């Protein structure tokens, strides 16, 4: 087995016994293998991280030195960007352009948190002449990260960046689907000179390595991105261990189109909002809520746009790649069939693409009502519901009528009306006139069942340290 696809534990590359076959979703063919980690490897990784914490290899560093390590990781990633992009495209099914954005995004996160490392500050509390009282941030210790398959590289960097900046050691469980790019994060840590045990990366199945990591008594904090169902299990495990958790879960995000919206802009943003990564995005623009009088025109524009997208293996430079697996293809098709039973009729798409790999047609359902399952359940595929509304208050009610609250959006030129809606939309991040605004500096996280805690921005670092108050009596 190539060193690139081994586990990285305690500064060593370990092959282990078993392997996980890695499929190219664009062809359905196995093209690589990664070392399979189980409970034994989890024990070893957590032990390595605990030793790093006990020896204070990160916490005794100058914060600026920790920051330079993260910046050096980012530099190594940029130097190897083309290789990582190709590997990510092959094992995730996304397009070359999407992979390049993701790899660049991962490097950006590491650079950002590298620059923030020496700005994590404590405070002094004046209690009078007889006392010295101050507050200092203290890392939790061992931070566990269970990474999803839809953005494995970027979300690994997004999670470990603030954790390492705060002085934690990290243990990463990469997804069994699309795991290969995450090994490059470990290679970047090694090349940057991260202390042994500071960064540990392994791949394993969720029911095996993932559960062992989530329930391990040696972890002090856990970060998870994935489904609500699995998120509940992570939170149960965290509660049993009485440790903090940051969880980003599902979404069924709505974008409200106002009467004065630029429909060319709406069409372009919807293209990226629902068809990026074949719709396998927690914050995808899954529901477009449009004025009834504009409904048909908007749908016509969207159908023309979707019909012009090329779909195929991402490595070929297509507009939309494959779904991650045959199972995911089945799930998407099941949701589409159920929509038909509910009375919805696709204006375009609605079928699998008959070719090697796991491809689904870009699909648009017009005239959807918000009580239909297709408007309520997370599909995680290239499927858009267009929902007409009569007045702005109705649009707001439709958008907020969801179990989820990850992101939402507004399209329109009247900023007074847009901000009125933004203030009232029940979601953790609101996009106005541009979906997926590329801001690593702003906090990101969910309301309702979309999770809690914040990723991105300076707020993310607060999820990786606790406050210690030290009070010194100077005597009489």
455-174-358-77 Cα dihedral, nearest 10 degrees: 70
SS3 at position 337: helix
pLDDT of residue 232: 97
Catalytic residue chosen out of the listed positions 41, 282, 378, 455: 282
pLDDT of residue 4: 60
pLDDT of residue 1: 45
Are 152 and 174 contacting, i.e. CB atoms less than 8 angstroms apart? yes
With a CB cutoff of 8 Å and minimum separation 6, the contacts of 242 are none
Write phi, then psi, for 438 (nearest 5 degrees): -80, 70
Superfamily of segment(s) 3-249+451-470 = Aldehyde Dehydrogenase; Chain A, domain 1 (3.40.605.10)
What stretches of 55-179 show up as alpha helix (H) in DSSP?
63-79, 81-92, 96-116, 152-165
Closest by Cα among 28, 281, 284 to 155? 281
CA distance 327 to 338: 17
> What is the maximal distance between C-alpha atoms in the chain?
84
Alpha carbon 424 to its chain's center:
25
Q: Is 392 left (phi over 0), alpha (psi -120 to 50) or beta?
A: alpha
Write phi, then psi, for 16 (nearest 5 degrees): 75, -175
At 275, list the tokens: 């068809």
pLDDT of residue 16: 75
User: What is the residue-wise DSSP string for 442-459?
Assistant: S-B--EETTEES-BSHHH
Task: For 311-353, write each residue's pLDDT tens digit.
Answer: 999 999 999 999 999 999 999 999 999 999 999 999 999 999 9
Are 275 and 320 contacting, i.e. CB atoms less than 8 angstroms apart? yes
Residue indicated by tokens 């030290």: 470
Rg, C-alpha atoms of the chain:
23
Walk along the chain (476 residues) and give the pLDDT tens digit of each residue.
455 699 999 999 998 779 999 999 999 999 999 999 999 999 999 999 999 999 999 999 999 999 999 999 999 999 999 999 999 999 999 999 999 999 999 999 999 999 999 999 999 999 999 999 999 999 999 999 999 999 999 999 999 999 999 999 999 999 999 999 999 999 999 999 999 999 999 999 999 999 999 999 999 999 999 999 999 999 999 999 999 999 999 999 999 999 999 999 999 999 999 999 999 999 999 999 999 999 999 999 999 999 999 999 999 999 999 999 999 999 999 999 999 999 999 999 999 999 999 999 999 999 999 999 999 999 999 999 999 999 999 999 999 999 999 999 999 999 999 999 999 999 999 999 999 987 899 999 999 999 999 999 999 999 999 999 999 999 86
Domains of the chain, by residue range, sit at 3-249+451-470, 253-439
For residue 240, indicate whether it is catalytic: no
Helices and strands: H and E segment counts in the chain: 15, 21
Query: Which CATH code is given to the segment(s) 253-439?
Result: 3.40.309.10
Catalytic residue chosen out of the listed positions 41, 102, 248, 455: 248
At 443, list the tokens: 């906090």
SS3 at position 47: helix
Indicate the DSSP class of residue 7: E
SS3 at position 182: helix
CA distance 444 to 460: 8
Answering whether pTM is above 0.95, one says yes
For residue 341, indicate whether it is catalytic: no
pLDDT of residue 2: 56
């Amino acid at each position: 087995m190539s060193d690139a696809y081994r586990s990285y534990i305690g500064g060593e590359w370990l092959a282990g016994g078993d392997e996980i076959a890695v499929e190219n979703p664009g062809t359905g063919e196995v093209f690589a293998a990664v070392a399979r980690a189980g409970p034994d490897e989890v024990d070893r990784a957590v032990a390595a991280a605990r030793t790093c914490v006990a020896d204070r290899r990160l916490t005794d560093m100058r914060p600026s030195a920790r920051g330079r390590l993260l910046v050096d990781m980012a530099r190594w990633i940029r130097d190897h960007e083309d290789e990582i992009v190709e590997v990510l495209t092959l094992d995730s099914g996304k397009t070359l352009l999407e992979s390049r954005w993701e790899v660049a995004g991962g490097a950006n996160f590491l650079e950002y948190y590298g620059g923030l490392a020496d700005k994590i500050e404590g405070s002094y509390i004046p209690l009078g002449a007889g006392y010295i009282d101050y507050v200092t941030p203290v890392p939790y210790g061992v931070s566990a990260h269970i990474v999803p398959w839809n953005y494995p590289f970027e979300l690994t960097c997004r999670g470990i960046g603030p954790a390492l900046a705060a002085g934690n050691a990290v243990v990463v469980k990469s997804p069994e689907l699309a795991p290969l790019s995450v090994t490059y994060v470990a290679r970047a840590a090694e090349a940057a000179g991260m202390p042994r045990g500071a960064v540990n990366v392994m791949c394993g199945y969720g029911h095996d390595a993932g559960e062992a990591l989530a329930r391990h008594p040696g972890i002090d904090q856990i970060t998870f991105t994935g489904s609500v169902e699995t998120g509940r299990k992570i939170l149960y495990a965290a509660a049993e261990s009485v440790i903090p958790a940051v969880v980003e879960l599902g979404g069924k995000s709505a974008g409200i189109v106002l009467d004065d919206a630029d429909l060319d802009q709406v069409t372009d943003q919807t293209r990226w909002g629902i068809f990026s990564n074949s719709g396998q995005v927690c914050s995808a623009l899954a529901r477009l809520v449009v004025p009834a009088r504009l409904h048909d025109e908007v749908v016509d524009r969207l159908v023309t746009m979707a019909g012009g997208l090329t779909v195929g293996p991402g490595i070929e430079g297509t507009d939309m790649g494959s779904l991650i697996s045959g199972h995911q293809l089945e799930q998407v098709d099941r949701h589409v069939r159920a929509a038909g039973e509910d009375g919805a009729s696709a204006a375009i798409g609605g079928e699998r693409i008959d070719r090697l790999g796991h491809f689904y047609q870009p699909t648009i359902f017009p005239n959807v009502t918000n009580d239909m399952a297709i408007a309520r359940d997370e599909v995680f595929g290239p499927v858009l519901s267009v929902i007409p509304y009569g007045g702005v208050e109705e649009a707001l009610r439709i958008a907020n009528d969801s179990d989820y609250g990850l992101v939402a959006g507004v399209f329109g030129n009247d900023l007074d009306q847009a901000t009125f809606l933004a203030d009232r939309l029940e979601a953790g991040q609101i996009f106005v006139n541009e979906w997926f605004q590329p801001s690593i500096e702003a906090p990101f996280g969910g309301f309702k069942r979309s999770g809690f805690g914040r990723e991105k921005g300076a707020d993310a670092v607060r999820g990786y340290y606790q406050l210690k108050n030290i009070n010194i009596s100077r005597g009489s």
